[in-house]
Amino acid sequence: MDKNKLVITIMVLLIFLALAIGIFILMSPNKQPTVVSSSTYNVSITEMNKNITSKLTSNGTEINLNQNDLTKYAIVTFNNPHDIMIMECPEGYTLANPTSSTGNKITEIKPLNQVNIEITPGKQNNLAISCSKN
């Protein structure tokens, strides 16, 4: 085998190795973001045109959450006409300190341990809460 064929063979093997590593990383199970050893954390949800972005903050560390990770830290639902967003802490946590940086009207429903905000269509709608371990 001449030198050029050997170099090409090695390059092809390296490409396949890189692809295999990439597939392995993509197929690895999602790891839950770490809530930095705290019994209280904050979750902020921003909704606009039915799209949600979310952030988790604990002990000064901020983590952007994808939809799967969000469900581990907060339960977010909408009523049928999508004009009210409902947010709860997961079981074993108590909701506190609801705020809206976008000025949405907040309604706390303490017996259900949840908070609602009225959605303004076409604008950003933000709701932030604290969840404390019971």
Same domain for 22 and 45: no
Residues 54 and 112 in one domain: yes
pLDDT at 35: 47
What are the pLDDT digits (tens) for 81-120? 889 999 999 988 999 999 999 999 999 998 889 999 999 9
Question: Does residue 82 lie within any of the structural domains?
Answer: yes
Q: pLDDT of 21-44, one tens digit each?
A: 767 666 655 444 444 446 899 999
Q: Which helix (H) or strand (E) holds 90?
A: none
The pLDDT tens digits of the residues spanning 67-80 come to 888 888 999 999 98
SS3 48: strand
Determine the 3-state secondary structure of 70 from DSSP. Answer: helix
Q: What is the pLDDT of residue 18?
A: 72
Classify residue 60: in a domain, yes or no: yes
Q: Does one domain contain both 17 and 44?
A: no
User: Domain check: are 12 and 63 in the same one?
Assistant: no
3-class SS of residue 104: coil
Coil, helix or strand at residue 97? strand
Number of folded domains in the chain? 2
Query: Residue 4 is part of which domain span?
Result: 1-30
Same domain flag for 57 and 87? yes
